[in-house]
């Protein structure tokens, strides 16, 4: 049933490099590695800087625009009900594209096809705001990404990429996030790399950022060539990470150090 | 047991990229006994390199660096390196630790082949130069217990 089993099996046989998949019971959000004051910042809506983007997103949700002069709300109504649980299922298979797309890409496809407006650039304030607003409607919802069997080959490819060493430092994602998540890299907790909180506010960025931004930072960190925003390889990594976190609660907008 | 002497395997660089020529070296057993450069390494410069973030050592290692608030704990403490290893062993450890332990996470600091998807900024270049490796080896040799 779960395409995950195949990946785990590949992991166990393929290389001596990686230990094993983190047992379900030991999975922990990046949240649990944080200091009390950072946790409090995420927990309190009034203290969570990500809520500024959520509020912007709510305004954008209702704004009519594009050649179609339609707002998101004209098709989807009240996001509190229509968008509940949606972010917890992304990336999802897109028939037109024939491959998975993430939430940002879904929002942009609604923008081009239904609002007939130009797509928003990745990491633009507006795209982050809409994504944060939609994701917020899934806060507390368990992640379900990956249930669609059509996604299996894409999850497998993301998983391979996760296990594969790359870059001048010759490290795989798994070397840090599966094998060394209880350790510190120059003093910062490595964490298990679960994508539960995105888009999230990073104190280091002084901004909200997407999961793709985070992944590009890790890839550049090991001195590998970062994939462009929107590249299928990045979406497959997002998909793998989300299905790896299946059952964990969504936290967006999260806060991280 | 006499170990094979492997020379110059690293000179076979992929064509096309502006690859930097690495100096050849000989591995004898678990060590590279001869320095990579003619000049001796400088321990003071070596220390400065080890604690500098861009050299990446303290991402993973801790050591006798009281001024460094943040140090890694993915790898053994560097204190006492000079008592545990010979100069030649430290040199091979830095040049290509994967020869000592194929599964190690410690990067190979003087190697450009066998790497995947290296970013354009770093492609074809070793992480450290031969001179920097000699400086770091000289410094590590001063860490005695």
Nearest by CB to residue A185, choosing from B72, B125, B127, is B72
Residues 38-97 of B with CB under 8 A from A: 53, 56, 58-60, 69-74
The band of A183, judged by pLDDT with boundaries at 50, 70 and 90, is: very high
Neighbours of B136 (CB within 10 A): 26
CA–CA dist B59, A180 (Å, integer): 13
How many domains in chain B? 1
Please report the sign of the dihedral spanned by the C-alpha atoms of residue A246, residue A248, residue A253, residue A257. negative
Strand ranges across the sheet with A207-209? A207-209, A200-202, A255-256
Judge whether residue A139 has pLDDT over 80. Answer: yes
Q: Are A253 and A51 in contact (CB under 8 A)?
A: yes
Q: Residues of chain A whose C-beta is under 8 A from some C-beta in B? A: 15-17, 164-171, 175, 179-180, 183-188, 220, 223-226
pTM, two decimal places: 0.91
CA–CA dist B55, B50 (Å, integer): 6
Residue A185 pairs in a beta bridge with A188
8-state DSSP, A65: B
State the Rg of chain B over Cα: 15
pLDDT recorded at residue B97: 98
CA–CA dist A137, A149 (Å, integer): 25
Q: Are A94 and A102 in contact (CB under 8 A)?
A: no
Nearest by CB to residue A171, choosing from B102, B105, B122, is B105
How confident is the model over A142-159, as a mean pLDDT?
A: 97
Note whether B115 contacts A185, CB cutoff 8 Å.
no
Q: Transcribe B23-89 into DSSP letters.
A: PP-EEBTTB--S-SSSSPP-HHHHHHHHHSGGG-HHHH---S-TT-S----SS---TTHHHHS-HHH
Q: pLDDT of chain B along its 145 residues, tens only?
A: 333 333 333 333 344 444 568 999 999 999 999 999 999 999 999 999 999 999 999 999 999 999 999 999 999 999 999 999 999 999 999 999 999 999 999 999 999 999 999 999 999 999 999 999 999 999 999 999 8
CA distances from B115 to A62, B12, B24 (A): 49, 13, 19
**What residue has token string 């990470």?**
A241
User: What is the β-pairing status of strands A188-189 and A99-101?
Assistant: unpaired
Which ranges in chain A belong to alpha helices (H)?
4-14, 36-43, 50-62, 72-76, 79-82, 103-113, 125-136, 152-163, 173-177, 211-221, 232-244
- Name the residue of chain A whose CA is nearest to B126's CA: A168
Note whether A167 contacts B117, CB cutoff 8 Å.
yes
CA–CA dist A197, A88 (Å, integer): 11
Tokens of B29: 């057993």
CA–CA dist A168, B107 (Å, integer): 8
Determine which helix (DSSP H) or strand (DSSP E) holds A184, and give its type and residue range. strand A184-185
pLDDT recorded at residue B21: 83
Q: Is A32 helix (H, G, I), strand (E, B) or coil?
A: helix
User: What is the β-pairing status of strands A92-94 and A188-189?
Assistant: unpaired
Nearest C-alpha of chain B: how many angstroms from A233? 13
Judge whether residue A4 has pLDDT over 50. Answer: no
Range of the domain at B62: 5-142
CA–CA dist B61, B95 (Å, integer): 17
How confident is the model over A170-195, as a mean pLDDT?
A: 96
Q: What is the tens place of the pLDDT at every residue in A89-102?
A: 999 999 999 999 99
Tokens of B40: 């001796």
The band of A108, judged by pLDDT with boundaries at 50, 70 and 90, is: very high
Angle ∠(B76,B81,B82) on CA atoms, nearest 5:
175
CA–CA dist A22, A28 (Å, integer): 10
Determine which helix (DSSP H) or strand (DSSP E) holds B141, and give its type and residue range. helix B130-141
pLDDT recorded at residue A11: 39
pLDDT recorded at residue A17: 44
Residue A90 pairs in a beta bridge with none
Neighbours of A146 (CB within 10 A): 25
Nearest C-alpha of chain A: how many angstroms from B88? 22
Q: What is the CATH number of the domain that holds B51?
A: 1.10.760.10
Show Cβ contacts of residue A251 under 8 Å, excluding neighbours closer than 6 positions: A29, A31, A42, A139, A196, A197, A200
CA–CA dist B139, B50 (Å, integer): 9
């Amino acid at each position: 049933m779960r395409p995950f089993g195949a990946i785990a099996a590949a992991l166990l046989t393929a290389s001596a490099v990686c230990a094993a998949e983190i047992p379900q019971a030991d999975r922990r959000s990046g949240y649990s590695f944080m200091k009390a004051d950072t946790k409090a910042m995420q927990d309190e809506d009034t203290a969570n800087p990500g809520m500024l983007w959520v509020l912007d997103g709510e305004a954008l949700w209702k704004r009519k625009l594009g050649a179609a002069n339609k707002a998101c709300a004209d098709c989807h109504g009240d996001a509190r009900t229509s968008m509940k649980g949606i972010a917890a299922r992304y990336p999802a298979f897109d028939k037109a594209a024939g491959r998975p797309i993430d939430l940002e890409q879904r929002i942009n496809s609604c923008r081009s096809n239904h609002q007939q407006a130009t797509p928003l650039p990745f990491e633009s304030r507006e795209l982050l705001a809409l994504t944060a607003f939609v994701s917020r409607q899934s806060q507390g919802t368990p992640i379900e990404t990956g249930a669609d069997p059509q996604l299996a080959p894409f999850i497998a490819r993301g998983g391979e990429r996760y296990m594969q060493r790359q870059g001048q430092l010759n490290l795989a994602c798994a070397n840090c996030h599966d094998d060394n998540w209880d350790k510190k890299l120059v003093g910062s907790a490595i964490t298990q790399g679960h994508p539960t909180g995105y888009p999230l506010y990073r104190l280091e960025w002084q901004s909200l950022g997407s999961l793709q931004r985070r992944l590009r930072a890790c890839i550049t960190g090991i001195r590998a060539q970062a994939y462009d925003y929107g590249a299928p390889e990045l979406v497959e990594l997002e998909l793998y990470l989300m299905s790896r976190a299946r059952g964990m609660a969504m936290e967006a907008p999260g806060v991280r150090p | 047991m006499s170990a094979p002497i492997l020379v110059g395997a690293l000179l076979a660089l992929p064509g096309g990229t502006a690859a930097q020529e690495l100096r050849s070296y000989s591995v004898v057993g678990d060590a590279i006994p001869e320095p990579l450069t003619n000049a001796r390494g400088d321990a003071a410069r070596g220390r400065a390199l080890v604690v500098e973030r861009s050299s990446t050592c303290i991402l993973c290692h801790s050591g006798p660096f009281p001024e460094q608030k943040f140090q890694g704990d993915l790898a053994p403490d560097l204190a006492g390196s000079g008592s545990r290893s010979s100069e030649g062993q430290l040199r091979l450890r830095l040049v290509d630790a994967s020869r000592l332990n194929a599964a190690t996470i410690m990067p190979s600091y003087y190697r450009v082949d066998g790497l995947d998807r290296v970013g354009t900024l770093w492609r074809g270049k070793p992480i450290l130069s031969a001179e920097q490796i000699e400086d770091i080896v000289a410094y590590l040799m001063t860490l005695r217990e």
